[in-house]
Amino acid sequence: MAVSRICVLAIFFPFFVLNIEATHHVYRNLQSVSSSSSNQPYRTGYHFQPPKNWINDPNGPMRYKGLYHLFYQYNPKGAVWGNIVWAHSVSKDLINWSPLNQAIFPSQPSDINGCWSGSATILPDGKPAILYTGINPNNQQVQNLAIPKNASDPFLKEWVKIPQNPVMAPTRANGINSSSFRDPTTAWLGKDGHYRVLIGNKRDTTGKALLYRSKDFVHWIEAKHPLYSAKGTGMWECPDFFPVLSKSMFGVDTSVDGPFVRHVLKVSLDDKKHDYYLIGTYDSKKDKFIPDTGFQNIDSVLRYDYGKYYASKTFFDDVKKRRILLGWVNESSSVADDIKKGWSGIQAIPRAIWLHKSGKQLVQWPVVEIEKLRANPISWPTIKVLKAGQRLQVTGVTAAQADVEVSFEAKEFKKAEVLDYWMDPQVLCSKKGATVTGGLGPFGLLAFASKDLKEYTSVFFRIFKHQNKPLVLFCSDQSRSSLNKNNDLTTYGTFLDVDPSHENLSLRSLIDHSVVESFEGEGRAVITARVYPTLAISDEAQLYVFNYADADVKITRLNAWSMKKARIN
């Protein structure tokens, strides 16, 4: 009955959406539809994506026997979410990737309706183990364990699911809601020799990171208390919990603890579709996380990325001693357009991540390996004054596939507009887009600009005076990015913890056909945008620096590169 009702709806409303509780949109009638469009202006040149179909969360990233492994949520049959398996690619440098066969796919009752997100843990014997969420025949979320069939194979091609699965499950006794119990983290080992792992959960509207402990990685017992929980935050998807060093950029293994260690808890809030993180202290005796500031005011909780970026996960690269962050960047195009292009979703460029010297926030920076793709460098030699209202074209690079670094000196604070009261930075950015002249801003980059400037994606700064101090706003304005108005054209924004009287405002944008990843303040804030220009595509795209403020600003540095294509899948 329910199925036939869905079919009838599907005939009249071809993109009929069925929302199963708390996760992706479910377009039942489109889950197995493939397309073979040859016109592909939006495929990326150096961002990770498979040749076709839907992808979402990165899963189980790790470095093993000299190879980086990326598993990811994948629909082998179509360009919308569904039929979910773990696809698998490997890389020597986090940039060029080779595909392998699917690693984990429905094969036992505990995952027969889907293999959802999870994480890898390198056990003390050096072998990896994967915990992931399976959907059982009753559509309940349970946690399963998979181990490599042959741990001496650096490609880790085949995975064996242990017969004891599921290793964690909702029961009447534990009262866990079976549709809100998913996404195990990488485990860490306590001094008592017991592993700990977190599972994302909610009860009513309280988001929780449930804590489980195990001596052998097979038998898991739920702790009395979650590691942390917060009222009103809804379902916590893809939690991540890891240590960072207080005065160093080096990463450490997930089990490291001690006097110079702080801990980070990241959760992907299903209600907001953003990744939020808290910095705090892990009390290993009580197995509790005490954040410096909690979720009381969600608007002031830090985010990895203030644009399109979700379900991220970190891992420790033990050879290069760094922690790497991977994240899913969804499309901003309509479902109809995704079906036409035959694919949906990319992975962001892997980012190194560490604690800022202030201890108040994290810093993210594209992994250094990406610089191998840089070609045809251009550099503006001297400090250039960018007059009020001026726009200069950056020539000599392939503007649709580029890496650009620019820094501005903006010191005429007398001219900065006064912001009397705090406003949501995203709202402020949409009110004051790139075309709205201000005292000290907007100045920044126009990416994917068409010759007639009918299309462009602007990323820019605007400085306000707030409580007699400079306040820097950073915006990524998509409102003019495409003549195709079916796209999500949301403008993104954030305030930056940078004092422009003491440091220049730096911006680095990774531009790649339909994505602009912008790192501001040397990585203290990041905004990722998905855009689909209709005119400014491939060789037609242009790049500019602009200053539409009333005051002049100085460009103190501009370096740009064309980016070579990465070998991906």
Q: Which helix (H) or strand (E) holds 335?
A: helix 335-341
- Whichever of 19 and 468 has its CB closer to ligand DQQ, that residue is 19
- Whichever of 184 and 493 has its CB closer to ligand DQQ, that residue is 184
- Whichever of 52 and 480 has its CB closer to ligand DQQ, that residue is 52
CB of 550 within 8 A of CB of 415?
Answer: yes
Select the residue whose beta carbon is closest to ligand DQQ and give its number. Answer: 116
For β-strands 553-563 and 53-64, DSSP reports them as unpaired
- Binding site residues, ligand DQQ, CB under 6 A: 23-24, 56-57, 73, 84, 116-117, 133, 182-183, 237-238, 310-311
Residue 257 among the catalytic residues = no
- Measured in residues, the chain has a length of 569
CB of 72 within 8 A of CB of 348?
Answer: no
- Whichever of 273 and 360 has its CB closer to ligand DQQ, that residue is 273
Q: Is 124 exposed, middle or buried (0-12, 13-18, 19+ CB in 10 A)?
A: exposed
Q: What angle do CA 312, 88, 39 make, to 5 degrees?
A: 85
Q: Give least dist CB 55 to ligand DQQ, A.
A: 10
Residue with tokens 């560490």: 354
Q: Give least dist CB 238 to ligand DQQ, A.
A: 6
- Whichever of 24 and 351 has its CB closer to ligand DQQ, that residue is 24
- Whichever of 129 and 329 has its CB closer to ligand DQQ, that residue is 329
In order, the DSSP letters of 372-409 are GGEEEEEE--S-EEE-TTEEEE--SS-TTEEEEEEEEE
In order, the DSSP letters of 158-223 are -EEE-TT--SB---TTTT--TTSEE-----EE-TTS-EEEEEEEEETTEEEEEEEEESSSSS-EE-
Q: Give least dist CB 61 to ligand DQQ, A.
A: 15
- CB count within 10 Å of CB 401 equals 22
Task: Report the alpha-carbon distance of residue 177 to residue 200 in Å, rounded.
Answer: 11
Catalytic-role residue among 57, 183, 270, 317 = 57
Q: Give least dist CB 133 to ligand DQQ, A.
A: 5
- Catalytic residue numbers, as ranges: 57
